[in-house]
Amino acid sequence: MKYVIAQTSGKQFLLKPGQWYDVDFIKNGSLGDFIYLNKILFFRKNNQIQLGKPFLVNSQISAKIIQEEVKGTKITVLKTKPKKKYTRTRGHRQSYTRVQIDSLE
């Protein structure tokens, strides 16, 4: 079993080769481009474990962009002022980029 814990845009993901993940929106990425993640915190291959302090040196993950923009679920933000009959409702949908993990090195 081979997997990696990597950090991208301030969030940590447990990544396995061949699977897809939704990461924060990448502005300069287009369909079919490869991105390289080099902030790897933990690497496991069978019974071999490598732990970074804080990141592993000379390790990187290559991932292919399979969808440029994916919308997340909609959240509703409600603003009110007490005793004033003031209410405002706003909705927000976060944009993500869907990537497929190609190789773990």
Residue whose structure tokens are 């080769």: 17
Phi, psi (rounded to 5 degrees) for 5: -110, 120
Alpha helices in the chain (DSSP H): none
Whether the ω angle into residue 17 lies within 30 degrees of 0, i.e. cis, is no
pLDDT of residue 34: 95
For the chain, the average pLDDT equals 94
Gap between the Cα atoms of 8 and 27, Å rounded: 14
- Give 2's strand partners: 45
* 85: helix, strand or coil: coil
Predicted pLDDT at 104: 86
Predicted structure pTM score:
0.82
pLDDT of residue 105: 80
Per-residue pLDDT, 1:
78
Low-confidence spans in the chain with pLDDT less than 70: none
What are the structure tokens assigned to 29, written together?
Answer: 């990425």
Using CA atoms, how far apart are residues 69 and 95, in angstroms rounded to an integer?
6
